[in-house]
Structure 1
Amino acid sequence: MICNFFGSMLYFRIMNRGKPQKYLSLSEEILALARELSLREGDALPSERCLSERFGCNHLTVRKALRVLAERNRIHRVPSRGSYFGPAPAPLRSSNRIGFIFPDDEIFYYRIFASVERVIASRGMHPVVHLTGGSEMRELELLDYFDCSGTLALIAVPNRLCADRYRKLNIPTLFFDTRLPDLDIPQVVTDDSAGAFAATEQLILRGHIRIAHIGNEYDFTGEQRLNGFLDALRKHGLRPDRSLIRMRYPSREWGYHAARELFALPRPPTAIFCSNDTIASGVVNFCADKSLRIPADLSVVGFGNTQTAEYLNLSSVSQNTDRITGAICSNLELLLKGGRVPPLTVIPTSCISRASVADCAKPSRGRGRT
């Protein structure tokens, strides 16, 4: 159940879409330009930048106009190359290409990809990897590309804003790490809520009461880890403190910035549970800059048990990547053979204890307890 703590903590993307006729009329102007340039099917259209300058509008309006034309099959788009006049070439299903879509270059995704790639390569299949940078538009373009380029199957960490496009895909698709519960697409996920609960409870049992959480507010995974954190506090009779929760990006920079905000409070936390190891590394960097000792002054726990956690000697939640890889590969094989694939595979987590957690010290000046 999605947490309603302190009101909605979901991320709502708000775009200034302007007048609806602007990009619609622009799409017709682009077609007129194609005729003026005597473009034939397969010829490249001018770049988005050139179109923006020619028609005096911003690049978002141009992208929306091009998407309208792509949906009407008047043009087709190739990621990282551009837009081309005419419909996309007929797909060639014999390509043996397996598409991968990741939101970023998080080390956890690389570890999963590296393991899956070894398996699919041994079976004569070839990976095609793209990163979206969290961009909804970028992901939609990639889905269009994979859907018409002869891709044999797609493995994705999906953006919920692209759910409708995933629903219309004509290629076998698997999700992992992030759930879209309303879609009839097989999904492999870790038990994020249980992992966060166990990590937080570990801190509580070590005597910590003022426990902060730094997480990612933009996806289902971040929500589940926040829910587990809050459930652990409630189980032990601790009232969640809004000032100790920082939700935004899954990045090292955000971890550093959020830690700085937390330690500007009159009563800073004695422990921080981070929703991934990358965020935790930002917290560690902040502590080093401010001469805060881990774990004497602050206990820190991450999530993912990546090489970052191993290098920093950081307690973390293991997502059991070997089991995730095994589930992805077995589900992919079933999918390609037309077999019955489990709709949801949940991989259990486990806590890995290292040197970043200690018993809570007695409260010192400026560090009170509830």
Structure 2
Amino acid sequence: MLPKYMVLVNWIRDRIKSQELKYGEKLSSEKELGQMFSVSRQTVRQAINVLVQEGLLESRQGSGTYVTRKIATAHTPQMVIGVISTYVNDYIFSGILRGVENVLTENGYSMQLAFTHNHIESEKKALTNMMSHGVDGLIVEPAKSGLPSPNMDLYNEALHEGLPLLFFNTYYPALPLPHVALDDMATGLAATEHLIRAGHRRVAGIFKLDDYQGRLRYAGYIRALMNAGIELDDDLVLWYSTEDFSDGFSAEKFQGRLQDATAIFCYNDQIALQAVAALRELGKQVPQDVSVVSVDNSDLAKLCEVPLTSVAHPMEDLGMTAAQNLLRLIQDPTFNATVDFPPHLVERGSVCPPRSL
């Protein structure tokens, strides 16, 4: 016959396993459990201590006892990797996803794909769906990575369950999870230094506020200015969000903020095209009046009316590396899967010295 405390231990285990007691949920009080099982509070404490030692429960002084993780059940590999991307257009994302798919297919895995359009709620639905279907791992481009996320509970649940998860293209800096991305701070540094070497000191910047890449590229931009002894001018910095992008950058907006700039570092090629068009409306030529450097080295940079100097995005290589590193994480959870690709600047015809030189 089982000791009374073990009856309670098994009862709590079963409810965690069936998710009647979910991660983060507070357990009934010692008094309530004692009454339910007709045992003393000492017996209840003995049962709780067993589950605390197993890492299933956590006792918080003055607050109670909480479920800290689900029971790890035997996981039969599904040979399915969940991939969550912000977009699927023909910009850089098709190349990234092609790289991911090629590696997964070569290794016998299929890909379950979801797109968030950089919306937090869509990310939540995708994560919940994939985690409930028992994927073997997740490759995620987080939505609005530059802002606090209400989906941290899901990511923390994945951490507690030991689900292999890797961020690509960007990441949430608050989470101890690996990422595979372009080194965005070094990218901002390299692009801005290129403009400074051409003789520019009035260097403007356009950055994305709600994605962490924008903040890192801004940090690189600031570092380049400081290294050159150039004081940051807030009037030469323009921030935008995901929702702002569809409105575009009008000539009026440029005239109001960036009219004194002789050069602009743009967050990506899409923004650079809008910048070139706005400058043209203002009667300014690229690069004679304003030099422009952007990021991604996409087809947009090559086909722009003035071919753009742009920092290359690793695209397919990034996707392949993300998939390869996730598969290694599945085999070895201690593997350091983080990779930051160094920037490579591709020079074209959008940069020249300022007219005053």
Give TM-score, length-normalised by structure 1: 0.67
Residues in 1 aligned to 2:222 and 2:333: alpha-carbon distance in whole angstroms: 39
Tell whether the 8 Å contact from 2:236 to 2:258 is kept in structure 1 after alignment: no
Residues in 2 aligned to 1:206 and 1:191: alpha-carbon distance in whole angstroms: 23
| 1:154 aligned partner, one-letter code | L
Is residue 264 of structure 2 the alignment partner of residue 272 of structure 1?
yes
Residues in 2 aligned to 1:272 and 1:260: alpha-carbon distance in whole angstroms: 16
Q: Counterpart in 2 of 1:163?
A: 152
Report which stretch shifted further, 147-156 or 250-259.
250-259
Residues in 1 aligned to 2:246 and 2:264: alpha-carbon distance in whole angstroms: 14
Tell whether the 8 Å contact from 2:254 to 2:278 is kept in structure 1 after alignment: no
Residues in 1 aligned to 2:204 and 2:117: alpha-carbon distance in whole angstroms: 27
Is residue 189 of structure 2 the alignment partner of residue 197 of structure 1?
yes
Is residue 82 of structure 2 the alignment partner of residue 99 of structure 1?
yes
Of 96, 105, 128, which aligns to 1:144? 128
Q: Counterpart in 2 of 1:123?
A: 107
Tell me the SS of whatever aligns to 1:118. helix
- Please state how far the C-alpha of 1:185 moved relative to its aligned partner: 2.1
Is residue 308 of structure 2 the alignment partner of residue 314 of structure 1?
yes
| 1:163 aligned partner, one-letter code | M
Residues in 2 aligned to 1:266 and 1:331: alpha-carbon distance in whole angstroms: 42
Render the CA deviation track for 1:221-270: whole Å, top value 9, x for unaligned.
11110010011111111111111111113689469416642223594311
Residues 200 and 259 (structure 1), Cα distance of their counterparts in 2 relative to 1, 3 Å cut: farther
Tell whether the 8 Å contact from 1:217 to 1:248 is kept in structure 2 after alignment: yes
Residues in 2 aligned to 1:105 and 1:345: alpha-carbon distance in whole angstroms: 23
Residues in 2 aligned to 1:253 and 1:144: alpha-carbon distance in whole angstroms: 28
| 1:271 aligned partner, one-letter code | A
Is residue 219 of structure 2 the alignment partner of residue 215 of structure 1?
no
| 1:352 aligned partner, one-letter code | V
- Please state how far the C-alpha of 1:164 moved relative to its aligned partner: 2.9
Residues in 2 aligned to 1:338 and 1:200: alpha-carbon distance in whole angstroms: 39
The structure, 1 or 2, with the larger RCO (C-alpha pairs under 8 Å, 6+ apart) is 2
- Please state how far the C-alpha of 1:286 moved relative to its aligned partner: 2.0
Residues in 1 aligned to 2:340 and 2:310: alpha-carbon distance in whole angstroms: 19
- Please state how far the C-alpha of 1:275 moved relative to its aligned partner: 1.3
Tell whether the 8 Å contact from 1:213 to 1:272 is kept in structure 2 after alignment: yes
Q: Counterpart in 2 of 1:109?
A: 93
Tell me the SS of whatever aligns to 2:172. coil
- Please state how far the C-alpha of 1:344 moved relative to its aligned partner: 2.5
Residues 317 and 192 (structure 1), Cα distance of their counterparts in 2 relative to 1, 3 Å cut: same
Q: Counterpart in 1 of 2:169?
A: 177
Residues 153 and 141 (structure 1), Cα distance of their counterparts in 2 relative to 1, 3 Å cut: same
Which structure has the bigger radius of gyration? 2
Q: Counterpart in 1 of 2:11?
A: none
Q: Which runs of 5+ in 2 are unaligned?
A: 1-72
- Please state how far the C-alpha of 1:148 moved relative to its aligned partner: 0.7
Q: Counterpart in 2 of 1:38?
A: none
Render the CA deviation track for 1:28-79: whole Å, top value 9, x for unaligned.
xxxxxxxxxxxxxxxxxxxxxxxxxxxxxxxxxxxxxxxxxxxxxxxxxxxx
Q: Counterpart in 2 of 1:334?
A: 328
Q: Which runs of 5+ in 1 are unaligned?
A: 1-89, 364-370
Residues in 2 aligned to 1:195 and 1:148: alpha-carbon distance in whole angstroms: 37
Residues in 2 aligned to 1:347 and 1:294: alpha-carbon distance in whole angstroms: 29
User: What is the RMSD computed on CA atoms of the aligned residues?
Assistant: 2.6
Q: Counterpart in 2 of 1:347?
A: 341
Residues in 2 aligned to 1:200 and 1:347: alpha-carbon distance in whole angstroms: 18
Tell me the SS of whatever aligns to 2:206. strand
Report which stretch shifted further, 126-135 or 143-152.
126-135
Tell me the SS of whatever aligns to 1:264. helix
| 2:341 aligned partner, one-letter code | I
Render the CA deviation track for 1:304-352: whole Å, top value 9, x for unaligned.
1122212222111123335423421321221222353215322211111
Residues 184 and 265 (structure 1), Cα distance of their counterparts in 2 relative to 1, 3 Å cut: closer
Give TM-score, length-normalised by structure 2: 0.70
Residues in 2 aligned to 1:232 and 1:197: alpha-carbon distance in whole angstroms: 5
Residues in 2 aligned to 1:232 and 1:164: alpha-carbon distance in whole angstroms: 37
Tell whether the 8 Å contact from 2:309 to 2:349 is kept in structure 1 after alignment: yes
Count of residue correspondences: 274
- Please state how far the C-alpha of 1:122 moved relative to its aligned partner: 2.6
Residues in 2 aligned to 1:266 and 1:348: alpha-carbon distance in whole angstroms: 29
Residues in 2 aligned to 1:277 and 1:213: alpha-carbon distance in whole angstroms: 13
| 1:135 aligned partner, one-letter code | H
Residues in 2 aligned to 1:254 and 1:246: alpha-carbon distance in whole angstroms: 16
Identity, % of aligned pairs?
A: 28
Is residue 318 of structure 2 the alignment partner of residue 324 of structure 1?
yes
Residues in 1 aligned to 2:247 and 2:309: alpha-carbon distance in whole angstroms: 16
